[in-house]
Amino acid sequence: MNKRIWLSVLMVLVLMFGLLAGCGSPAEEPAEEPTEEEPVEEPSEDEVVITVAAGAVGQELELTQMAAQMYMDDNPGVIVEVLDTPDLAQDRLGLYLQFFEAQSSEVDVYQIDVIWPGDLEEHFVDLYDYGADAVVGDHFPAIVENNTVEGRLVAIPWFTDAGLLYYRTDLLEKYEFDPPETWEELAQQAQTIQQGERDEGNQDFVGFVWQGDAYEGLTCNALEWIASNDGGTIISPDGLITINNDNAVEMIDMAATWVGTISPEGVTGMAEEDARAIWQGGNAAFMRNWPYAYSLGQEDDSAVKDRFDVSPLPAGANGEPAATLGGWQLAVSRYSENPEIAADVALFMASYDMQKMRAVDGSLNPTIMELYEDDDVLEAAPFFGSLYDVFTNAVARPSTASAPNYNAVSTAFFRAVHNVLNGNTDAATALEELELDLQDITGFDIE
């Protein structure tokens, strides 16, 4: 009898170890894979390898690799490797945290989300120590302030983002609509166009696609709905929980009616690239997405080339249009073996010329103000000029107010909204619960 128990303990131990090891290993794997553009030769002794962990949404990865190549051409002693990281923000965060927990020098430069500087600052160097003061004045002050923690510049702004409404100019003309200014108008137009296109034989046509999967992107989308209906920003900048109000309830309930009507059932499983796939195939009238989708939509293989435009997102009945502030920064790891060179790489990648290249080729919004007046940039992405106000007035997620608990706050929020979208509960109940959850997480007072 005893031996049996011991044997089962042993088996469970071995299995558990497999589980623990399974959780730990993915961090190391991607680092081993060489990307195509890398030089094949092994680094010799006086060569320094700088690894940049970068995103791969749309054209991001190619653009970063091009910049890395340019840096290598100018600096023969340095090899810049680009590490491809997961698309979903919190998967990327998970990967980074494993590097930080191990204090690994594997990655020197990290591409970090606009919501992370507060949470992760202890792992990054102060870029003011490496010559950032010379360039910092060129960038949007609001983003620089976001990246500054207790006087330390933990990350240099790289590109900024704000939610935009993509609409099909040809279809709006066909059905005689102007770009929608309220969510209700959008829903009506989407319904009409969807019905019309389906009657004409395109069975897969949908009215409106957006990001409804249970992840950070849903927080961005839902924050836009709520903020555009004067429903606050979940937690106010001075630390009050404001989410449970009538305007927020109204908007989330409205969004739930879109699922299965103007948006496909599957929208509650969609991230940026899923929405773009439907849009770029010509199967949607409207899309909510970030600016990166613009230049991809204008490429030759796109079904919507020259047939779409962008506008600010619609407003709710009680408010003004709102766009969530997104965007990415470059930060240098404290555990890097060559912080000077790593900082130089980061500043080079965020420089005027590189941001210009990324704006022209990838429609990634520069963080350098002057670039919004640059002719080449405006020719490639005309909306940078016309929607300048959208980018400068974008609504920040409550990451500063709730640091270091932002991720928990955001997860509670998008799971609550996701539950309403899936029809498991109604917005009033969900937000009442959420308000108490947020109080548990942050300890803040309820407004």
Partner 1 sequence: MKTNRKSDLAKREERTAYKLLLPALIILLLIAIYPLGQVFYTSFTDRQFASGQETEFIGFDNYRRLLSVTVQQLEPLVDEETNQIVIDEETAKVIYERPIDVLPREPIRYREYRQFNLMGNRYVLGATDVDFIDAIKNTLVFTVTSVFLELVLGLGIALVVNSNFKGKGVTRTAMLIPWAVITVVSARMWEWMLAPNRTGMFNMLLDRFGLTEGSIAFLASSSFQLPAMIAVDVWKTTPFMALLLLAGLQTIPDELYEAAAIDGAGPVKQFFSITFPLLKPAMAVALIFRTLDALRVFDVFQVLLGQSEYSMATYNYFQLIGNRNMGLASAIGVIIFIIIFGFAIIYIKSLGVEMDETS
- The tokens describing 413, both together, are 């929020």
Q: How far is the CB of 172 from partner 1 (least distance, A)?
A: 23
In the complex, the smallest distance separating the C-beta of residue 48 from partner 1, rounded to whole angstroms, is 26
Beta bridge partners of 208: 286
Minimum distance of partner 1 from residue 415's CB (angstroms)? 7
Q: Does 303 bind partner 1 (CB under 8 A)?
A: no
Beta pairing partners, 395 = 324
Choices 4-12, 72-80, 127-135, 308-316 (CB under 8 A): range interacting with partner 1: 4-12
159 sits in which H/E element = strand 156-162
249 in contact with partner 1 (CB under 8 A):
no
- Cβ atoms of 186 and 179 closer than 8 Å: no
> Closer CB to partner 1, residue 355 or residue 419?
419
> Tokens representing 79?
């090899």
By the rule CB under 8 A, 201 interacts with partner 1 = no
**Which residues are CB-contacts of 294 (< 8 A; sequence separation ≥ 6)?**
166, 310, 363, 381, 383
Q: Which stretch binds partner 1 (CB under 8 A): 10-18, 145-153, 245-253, 303-311?
A: 10-18
Q: Does residue 446 interact with partner 1 by CB under 8 A?
A: no
Among 35, 69, 98, 236, binds partner 1 (CB under 8 A): 98
Number of shown-chain residues binding partner 1 (CB under 8 A): 57
- As measured in angstroms, the least distance from the Cβ of 96 to partner 1 is 8
Span from 96-104, 136-144, 168-176, 305-313 in contact with partner 1 (CB under 8 A):
96-104
- Could you tell me if 200 and 212 are in contact, meaning their C-beta atoms sit under 8 angstroms apart? no
366 preceded by a cis bond (ω within 30 of 0): no
| Binding-site member from 34, 39, 77, 94 for partner 1 (CB under 8 A) | 94
Q: How far is CA 205 from CA 82, 221, 257, 264, 314, in A?
A: 38, 22, 18, 9, 21
Q: Which of residues 345-364 bind partner 1 (CB under 8 A)?
A: none
For 281-405, where are the alpha helices, taking DSSP H only? 293-297, 339-349, 352-362, 375-380, 383-386, 388-392, 399-402
Q: Which part of the chain contacts partner 1 (CB under 8 A), choosing from 73-81, 95-103, 288-296, 300-308?
A: 95-103
Note whether 350 and 367 are within 8 A (CB). Answer: yes
Which residue among 124, 215, 294, 391 contacts partner 1 (CB under 8 A)? 215
Note whether 269 binds partner 1 by CB under 8 A. yes
CA atoms within 13 A on the CB side of 204: 7
Q: Is 93 in the site for partner 1 (CB under 8 A)?
A: yes
Count other Cβ atoms within 10 Å, centred on residue 118: 17
Q: Quick one: tokens of 378? A: 């405006």
Piece of the chain touching partner 1 by CB under 8 A; list 88-96, 301-309, 315-323, 383-391: 88-96
**Closest CB to partner 1 among residues 229, 268:** 268
Beta-bridged to residue 110, according to DSSP, are 53, 331
Min CB(430)–partner 1 separation in Å: 11
Residue 325's alpha-carbon distances to 98, 187, 224, 363, 387, in angstroms, are: 27, 24, 10, 16, 14
* Ranges within 403-422 binding partner 1 (CB under 8 A): 404, 407-408, 411, 414-415, 418, 422
Contact residue for partner 1 among 101, 337, 353, 389 (CB under 8 A): 101
Binding site for partner 1 (CB under 8 A): 1, 3-5, 7-20, 22-23, 88, 90, 93-94, 97-98, 100-101, 122-123, 203-204, 212-215, 264-269, 278, 404, 407-408, 411, 414-415, 418, 422, 424, 432-433, 436-437, 440
